[in-house]
Every structure is written in C-alpha cells, then in structure tokens.
Amino acid sequence: MSSLQRTGICLMVGASLILALSLGTRHGFGLFLSPMSADFGWGRGVFAFAIALQNLIWGIAQPFTGALADRFGAQRAIIVGGVLYAAGLVLMGLADSPLSLSLSAGLLIGIGLSGTSFSVILGVVGRAVPPEKRSMAMGIAAAAGSFGQFAMLPGTLGLIGWLGWSAALIALGMMVALIVPLAVMVKDRPQVSHGPQQTLAEALREACSHSGFWLLALGFFVCGFQVVFIGVHLPAYLVDQHLPAIVGTTVLALVGLFNVFGTYIAGWLGGRRSKPRLLSALYLARGVVITLFITVPLSVWTAYAFGIAMGLLWLSTVPLTNGTVATMFGVRNLSMLGGIVFLFHQLGSFLGGWLGGYLYDHTGSYDLVWQISILLSVLAAALNWPVREQPVARLQGAQA
C-alpha cells in the first residue's frame, strides 16, 4: 500500500468518525424534549425553539466556516467546532431557563456543528478523491454519520435513564470532545490550482448566477424541514399515540441504521445516474412514506417500518446534493458553496423544528406539520428535476 493510499484511508476513517460523533449526538436531541420540558414545566415550544435556533445558527455559520476550510484547511475549523460543540453540550446540561438553553443548545452547538459536519467534512473528502470516485466517497462518509445515529441513540437513552438528562448531556460533551484529537487524521490542504486563481467573490458570483445552484438550495430546504421535524418530534409524537418511549428511540435508531445503506447506495448511484433526477425520486418517495405513516393505523410495527423506509431516504440527499455542486463548480470552493446550499437546509430545519412545537402547543396535534411535509416533498421533487448536472463554462474551458 502506497503512502498516498494510507493517507487517504486515514483521512476517510477520521472524517467518518468525526461525522459519527457529531451527527450521532445531534440526532439524539429529540430524546431530551420530554424530560427537560417536564422538569421545568415548559411547553414543547421552548425546547423546539432552542433546537430550531441551533439549526439556524448552524446554517448561517456554515458558509463562513466552509470558506475558512477551503482557504486554510479543514483541521482548524474541525478543532474549533469540536471545542464549541462539547462546551455547548455541557452548558446545555446545566441550563435552567429558556435563555440558557437557547445559548447552549442553540448558539454554541449550532456554531460547533458548522465545523464538524457535512459541508466541511465532505469538502475534505471531495478534494481528496478523483472525480469518478467522489460521489461514492461522499456516500461512505455520510453513511458513517448515519451509523453514529444508530449506535449513539440507544446509548443516549441509556445515559438519560442511568444518569438523568443533565448528567447525560455532560457525558455526551465529553464524548464529543474526542473530535479534537480526531481532527489530526483529517490532513486537508487547500487545492492548488494551475493558472489564474478564482477569487472568493468570483466563485460567489458564478454560483449565484446559476439557476441550478438555487434550485438545489431550495430543494435542500425541504430536506432540512423534514429530518429535523421528525428527529425532534417523532419520539414525543409516538408517546402521544400511546406507544412506549423506547419505540421512538428504536425508530430513530432504525433511521440511522438503514441510512447507512441509503447513503451508500445513493453515493454509488450518483456516480452512474443523474444526481438531480435521483434527488427528485428521493423526495417523492419521502412523500409517499409519510403519507402511508399517517394514514395507516399506527402500531409498533408500522412505526418500525416507517423508521426503516425513512432511513433509506434520510441523508441520501447529502452526497447527491454536494456531488452535484462539485460537478457544476469544482472542488476549490466546495465547502463554502456547499455551505450556502446547506444554509437553506438549515432554514428548513429551523422551520421544521420550531413549527412542530409551535403548532403542537396551539393545536394539540402534529397533523398539520405532517401534511406540510408531504406537500414539500412534491415541491422538492419538482425543483430538482430541471437541474443540469454539468460543469460551468469555466471548467469546460479548462478541460478542453
């Protein structure tokens, strides 16, 4: 095995472990909604707003974090993100008011996630592999994040039962701190380009004048709305339907497990088929799955079937969306441009997380949010269909 191959394997392992810790912890936040709200006498809207704020801050910070990673390498962004993420979890465990919850779970963890999640990590992966293997490599890294969700959700529930929600969050903060030493494995260097360098302003103008860039971003908004609404509110929804609390945890774990396969398959297919057309099919499939879930009589087994089906579609959008951005604009500014697209994902995440709690507190039901999710699936499918997956004129000229 050559030195280059060893470096590549080390990078993929480090990137995968960082995503597993970062996203595995983040996907368990919904398990804290009921115990924290019950202890402090809050409505569900208080916790939902803090998580919605987290996703909004994450999205706003992501283009800037991505731009820094593109210019100076990803290690610094990952280290700072890991420190802020761990500190946010510890302070979330000590929170005793809506303000302290929003500052810890919302502000600190939101900024921390911007340095330890998809846009930065997949930017590293995209620069490290040749174009024909890029979609597959991104799928593998995204699948690792999904495995983290599967592995850490039962552990998070066990920590809550053993230590209580406050100490469980502090313990999770100590685990997330492992991201800092893992950053050493992600040896990323900004891509050196031969010929004139494209400036940051030029990259932004090029992307912002491209209709496909905005169609991808708007479609990604729907992904964020759906995954955060489900991730935060599904456990409470199932308890409301008189199912045991363990069922919600198991469903989210199944989402994580089967998304390992879903993201890998999406990455594999993305190297062989049109990524935008695959995205349209994924969003339509989500709409069908949600429709069946809310119309078929609910039981433990239909809940598990929903987790499996949604798992196959959960983060499969990530390698396809980032892969399309890389194909159209190249990898020099991939973390920043992917971060802008991801900002729209997080705007959807904010709305899905907050609206779920707001409408529940005002109507006593999640029915309207489920219906909105179905309509958004159709909209996202329509938005992604016309996107053309081909390099911009600048890259076509360089290849000629």
User: Mean of the pLDDT values across residues 108-122?
Assistant: 88
The confidence score (pLDDT) of residue 196 equals: 56
> What's the CA gap between 219 and 165, in Å, rounded?
35
The confidence score (pLDDT) of residue 379 equals: 96
pLDDT (tens digit, 9 = 90+) per residue, 357-386?
A: 889 888 988 999 999 999 999 999 999 999
Ranges of each domain in the chain: 3-186+200-393
Band the pLDDT of 197: cuts 50, 70, 90. Answer: low
pLDDT (tens digit, 9 = 90+) per residue, 129-179?
A: 777 777 777 777 777 767 777 788 788 888 998 999 999 999 999 999 999
For residue 199, pLDDT beyond 80: no
SS3 readout for the chain: CCHHHHHHHHHHHHHHHHHHHHHHHHCCHHHHHHHHHHHHCCCHHHHHHHHHHHHHHHHHHHHHHHHHHHHHCHHHHHHHHHHHHHHHHHHHHHCCCHHHHHHHHHHHHHHHHHHHCHHHHHHHHHHHCCHHHHHHHHHHHHHHHHHHHHHHHHHHHHHHHHHCHHHHHHHHHHHHCCHHHHHHHCCCCCCCCCCCCCCHHHHHHHHHCCHHHHHHHHHHHHHHHHHHHHHHHHHHHHHHCCCCHHHHHHHHHHHHHHHHHHHHHHHHHHCCCCHHHHHHHHHHHHHHHHHHHHHCCCCHHHHHHHHHHHHHHCCCHHHHHHHHHHHHHCCCCHHHHHHHHHHHHHHHHHHHHHHHHHHHHHHCCCHHHHHHHHHHHHHHHHHHCCCCCCCCHHHHHHHC
What does pTM read for this prediction? 0.78
Band the pLDDT of 2: cuts 50, 70, 90. Answer: low
Band the pLDDT of 400: cuts 50, 70, 90. Answer: very low
The confidence score (pLDDT) of residue 219 equals: 93
More confident residue, 153 or 90: 90
For residue 215, pLDDT beyond 90: yes
Percent share of the chain, pLDDT over 70: 94
Q: What is the mean pLDDT of the chain?
A: 86
For residue 330, pLDDT beyond 70: yes
Band the pLDDT of 81: cuts 50, 70, 90. Answer: very high
Band the pLDDT of 327: cuts 50, 70, 90. Answer: confident
For residue 298, pLDDT beyond 90: yes
pLDDT (tens digit, 9 = 90+) per residue, 248-292?
A: 888 988 888 898 888 888 888 888 889 999 999 999 999 999 999
For residue 307, pLDDT beyond 50: yes
The confidence score (pLDDT) of residue 121 equals: 84
User: Mean of the pLDDT values across residues 185-207?
Assistant: 70
The CATH number of domain 3-186+200-393, selected from 1.10.3720.10, 1.20.1250.20, 3.40.50.300, 3.40.50.410: 1.20.1250.20
